[in-house]
Amino acid sequence: MKHICVLFCLLVAVSLYAQDKSYRVVFDLTSRDSLDQKAVMRWVHEITTSNPDAQLEVVMYGKGYELVMPEKSAYLADVNAAAKNPHVAFKVCRVALKNNNIDRSRIIADAGTVPDGIYEILMKQREGWGYIKVGH
């Protein structure tokens, strides 16, 4: 009887896990390359168009933060439009800002910051988010 109860609990847990069809993706942007900026913004647009409830987060470290800097971004209009979606977040690594002597005031107000970009990505993966490294 004990084995049947354990098996039943396991089957319930597996079925509940299988029913989670959420669409959650964290994008890893480390480059200032305009082609990488274009790629991530294209993906954000395509995903939010085809799956309006998808949760997306673009995490920027290295030089990736330039995507959300008005004087550096080639796709600022796209970022501003995407940032209006409550399911899309842009997060900048505070370590990267500090290492590059960039004040928080130089990035758009709709972009958030995280203490450590790599740790943010790791935590999203632990929560079951998909991971995409932005590159071309």
> Total domain count for the chain?
1
Task: Record the pTM.
Answer: 0.84
Which pLDDT tens digit goes with each residue over 32-71? 999 999 999 999 999 999 999 999 999 999 999 999 999 9
Mean pLDDT, to the nearest integer, of 107-136?
A: 96
Q: How confident is the model at residue 21 (pLDDT cuts 50, 70, 90)?
A: confident
**What does DSSP say about strands 112-114 and 55-60: parallel, antiparallel, or unpaired?**
unpaired
- Give residue 76's Cα distance to chain centre: 17
Joined together, the tokens standing for residue 29 give 């942007």
Domain that holds residue 98: 23-133
User: Considering the domain boundaries, does residue 11 fall inside one?
Assistant: no
Q: CB within 8 A of 65, min separation 6: which ones?
A: 92, 93, 96, 97, 100, 102, 107
Greatest alpha-carbon span in the chain: 68
CATH number for the domain spanning 116: value is 3.40.1260.10
Q: What DSSP assignment string belongs to 79-95? A: HHHHHTSTTEEEEEEHH
